Amino acid sequence: MLSAGQSLRALRERLGLTMRDVETSSAAIAARHNSDEFAIPPSRLSDMETKGVVPSIYRLYSLSVIYRKDAREILAWYGVDLNKIAEDVPLASPPKSHKSEALENVSSVRVPVRMDPSFDPRYTVNMGRLVEQWGVVPLTYLAQFADRRYTYGYIGTDDFTMYPILPPGTFVQIDESKTRILEGAWRSEYERPIYFVETRDGYTCCWCTLQPDGLVLQSHPLSPVPVRVLKHPQEAEVIGQVVGVAMRLGEWTTVETLPEPKAREALN
Give the tens place of pLDDT for each residue, 81-139: 887 887 787 788 888 888 777 766 666 656 565 667 776 656 545 555 556 666 655 55
| pLDDT for residue 265 | 44
Which amino acid appears at position 254 of this protein? T
60-68: average pLDDT:
96
CA 123 distance to own-chain centroid: 30
For residues 42-64, give the mean pLDDT. Answer: 96
pLDDT band at 218 (very low <50, low <70, confident <90, very high): very high
H helix intervals, the chain: 4-14, 19-32, 42-50, 57-67, 71-77, 85-88, 127-130
CATH superfamily of 150-257: Umud Fragment, subunit A (2.10.109.10)
The dihedrals phi and psi of 154, each to the nearest 5 degrees, come to -130, 130
Residues 24-49: tens digit of each pLDDT: 999 999 999 999 999 999 999 999 99
Residue 268 pLDDT grade (very low, low, confident, very high; cuts 50, 70, 90): very low
pLDDT (0 to 100) of residue 112: 62
Label residue 160 by pLDDT band (50, 70, 90): very high
Task: Kindly indicate the confidence band of residue 252, based on its pLDDT and cuts at 50, 70 and 90.
Answer: low
pLDDT on residue 39: 97
Q: Which residue has the higher pLDDT, 95 or 148?
A: 95
Taking the CB of residue 101, how many other CB atoms lie within 10 A of it?
A: 9
pLDDT at 53 over 90: yes
Q: Which CATH number does 4-77 carry?
A: 1.10.260.40
Q: What residue spans define the domains of the chain?
A: 4-77, 85-94+103-145, 150-257
Can you tell me whether residue 126 is helix, strand or coil? coil
Q: Are 237 and 217 in contact (CB under 8 A)?
A: no
112 Cβ contact partners less than 8 Å away, ≥ 6 residues apart: 127, 131, 133, 134
pLDDT of 207 above 70: yes
Kindly give the residue spans of alpha helices, DSSP state H, lying in 33-69.
42-50, 57-67
pLDDT at 266: 43
pLDDT band at 8 (very low <50, low <70, confident <90, very high): very high
- CB-based contacts of 257, cutoff 8 Å, min separation 6: none
Average confidence score pLDDT of the chain: 83
pTM score of the predicted model:
0.59
